[in-house]
Amino acid sequence: MRLPFNKRTKTMKKELTILLLLLCHINLQAQYARFEYATELCECTANFDSTKYSRQQLQNTFEYMYFGDASSIDTYPVDFDEEPAALLDALEKECRQKLAFIRQLDIVDDSFWQDVRKKMIKYINSTRELRRVTIKARTAPKELHGYKLVDKNCRYFRDALIAGGDQLLKAWAKLIEMKKKHNADPDGMQRSFDSRYNSPEREEWAYRDVLTYGWWNYANRLLPHVTQKGYEKHFKKLLKDIRCECDD
């Protein structure tokens, strides 16, 4: 027996509603994809919206922005085992490669992580300038006068390096006193200083220490270092249903 027209219409509407809900559920399941990542202590799995960004974009953001620092520069300007010319070449090559890599890196199109990219680029350019002038100062201390991002400590050690002689030795002694306050073996540090101070190479030792622990350390602190503030919070915003297994 055929149903009345009105009942058939209601049945069709109900069936259509169920079908639409089923399709929406299937589309929603297809929209979210699985992502796996590991921190120092945890192995994690989560889902992400694949209509907003790809798994590779998410992986790049995690690997080079959040958990790894793509802006880290390894060329150490006060490595006295290397010649200044070789260090300058290594620095320029490393910075060019890092800048090119960060600029082209395919990450999630999110304002927070795009801003992290800009901060990394700014840091690399800033640290390249400081490292370059510090390397040049190994043989030409007056090069330090051209560097502008300084405070009173930087100026004090810079002027001593340029002046040399008694002014440099005085700054060296002051630096050692400053370091002893934060050293686990201040007496041992003093003995090492006394030995070097009384050696024929005392001005060379003074120059190395003041350039490294005076000028470089204090100038480096003033750079726009990239901090990880907000990283965890904003990375988790890209995910849902996060599940982690962590070591105790």
Domain ranges of the chain: 33-143+226-237, 150-221
Alpha-carbon distance values, 56 to 40, 74, 108 (Å): 21, 26, 9
Q: Which amino acid is at 216?
A: W
In tens, the pLDDT along 106-147 reads 999 999 999 999 999 999 999 999 999 999 999 999 999 999
pLDDT in tens, 200-241: 999 999 999 999 999 999 999 999 999 999 999 999 999 999
| pLDDT number for residue 3 | 46
Q: What is the DSSP string of 22-89?
A: HHHHHHHHHHEEEEEEE-SSEEEEEEEETTT--HHHHHHIIIIIISS-TT-----TT-TTS-HHHHHH
Least confident range of 9-13, 93-97, 232-236: 9-13
What letter represents residue 153's amino acid? N
